[in-house]
Structure 1
Amino acid sequence: MMQELLQFDTELFLKIHRGLSNDFFDWIMPLLRNRFFWSPLYLFIVIFCIRQYKKAGLYIIGGVLLTFALGDGISSKIIKPNVGRIRPCNEVLLADQIIHRVPCGSGKSFPSSHATNHFGIAVFLIGVFYRKWKSILPIGIIWAAAISFAQVYVGVHYPIDVFCGMILGISLGMLTTAIYRYTEKRFLKRTIVETT
């Protein structure tokens, strides 16, 4: 069963990594997974939260940082070393099929920390702002999904790495949203929805 699942995972990886290959994806996908590409967005979130929500904004930023710390710590420091799955771009059996679009790195593959972190942050921000801005739901999910898909396309993760990273990230985002909601009720006089 496990061997069949891994075989399916490899086949799906190759269908995405090689089968969807085109010049536009070759240009955009490495950018989507580059943390520096999103720096303006992160800076905007920080400035927006502080200017718009003052003290509550600091709690939101703290929630984002907590979500990232939990996601990165659990995926990179706990799960990856214990599972030890080799990245597809470092897999000897796939060496002649890999298109080297980005540096592979020596880290392990399962789960995808990019998927964990970005789905975690997206779900946390959705949890905080959904009652005020319903459009954050599709925007957040599409944003995290695009970054996660890019990980497979450039060859550094298998689809299962991304899927499990997504599940972990969603779970952590829900956890930190619950922590934020508790903190909001206990320590803040007004909620985000009430703030104008």
Structure 2
Amino acid sequence: MAARAVRTPLTLAVLSLLRERARHPYEIQALVRERHVDEVVKMRGGSLYDAIRRLAEAGLVTSVTSERAGARPERTVYAITDEGVAVAEALVRDYLRSPAQDFPVFVAGLAHILDLEPATAAALLRERRAAIQAEHDRVAAQLDADTAHLPRVVTLEADYAQALRVAELAWLDRVAAGIEAGELPWPEGRT
């Protein structure tokens, strides 16, 4: 199995939660949401189950038991292995120390903003600002309501994501206003 297949933010989240104690995937999924890890880790459909399968194939987690509660389907409980602990620690170290080069679509759009009329570009930046403000407000309300019982260190990733939203809101305000005021003029012949 390629090392890259298990070196993802989602697999790190799984390993970290299993490091606390053995869990079944449904409990992991619930904790990812409760702790707002899903604000910074992409988790869709069966991706959690795929991640656990990859981790098991790589020997980083192992099934320890199956449990059934009432009429619910049987749930496999997984535990982290010693190798999984080592990989989790290595991933955290790598993720914290080294800036990664991401290729977000927004930055690609900024690289080609001159393909639009200035007024259109400013309007689209204002639309983005409104969407980010709504997301910021939604997450702030959830954090206030859902995490009062959690130590702040457990939700640092959500706190960081909120700080980035605040910074982006200020940046979008400055750039959109600069375009609208003509302080960021388009070169002649563009658009």
Normalised to the residue count of structure 1, the TM-score between the two structures is 0.30
Rg larger for: 2
> Structure 1 or 2: larger strand share?
2
> Structure 1 or 2: larger helix share?
1
Normalised to the residue count of structure 2, the TM-score between the two structures is 0.30
